[in-house]
A = this chain, B = another copy of it.
């Protein structure tokens, strides 16, 4: 692979290439079969690697799920943070989150499904591992709300409850979208949801 040299930094390193192939495959497979119903060998086949190869990149099956979350949710949160950065008002920020949330999930339907499904695993070990990235997202929402209250751009008595409403609504919408075969595009409801939020938070 001498020819690679010059462009090496533009490429995904082969090492990472396989890592991501496995993660992509796992996302698909978990989404279709669920974590417990999906065999590691299915992921391997989908990723085009041998069963054993998986264990060169991940400690065990659980680690795949956990890594998947860190990786994907990390991207998700980063994307949201970036899009928020350009907003000036709380109103804009909230609308921006709604839109980015929907856009991201729509572009990553499998991830949306996995999130829906596995977000609430009860196996305590898994829960704990997964809760990290999610908490980060919660924190981000709460920050926006907090700041909004401070700047008196919204009215809200309890930040946490506000976040529960905000996230819960988006989550329920995704849940419906994910479980229906012929879902209406999520874009259609962004406005509707925002309108409700406007009333709830008394957005200026």
Chain A residues packing against B (C-beta within 8 Å): 30-37, 113, 116-117, 119-123, 127, 131, 156-158, 160-162, 164-165, 167-173, 175-176, 179, 189, 192-193, 195-197, 199-202
Identify the closest chain B residue to A173 (Cβ): B164
Distance in angstroms from A186 CB to nearest chain B CB is 11
With A and B bound together, what is the CA distance between A17 and B117 in angstroms?
33
Chain B residues with CB under 8 A of A189: 158, 161
Q: Are B164 and A172 in contact (CB under 8 A)?
A: yes
Of A160, A170, A199, which is in contact with the most chain B CB atoms at under 10 Å from its CB? A199
- With A168-B173, A199-B201 as given contacts, are A157 and B192 in contact (CB-CB < 8 Å)? yes
Q: Which of B160, B161, B196 contacts A161 (CB 8 A)?
A: B196
Chain B residues with CB under 8 A of A122: 30-35, 37, 113, 117
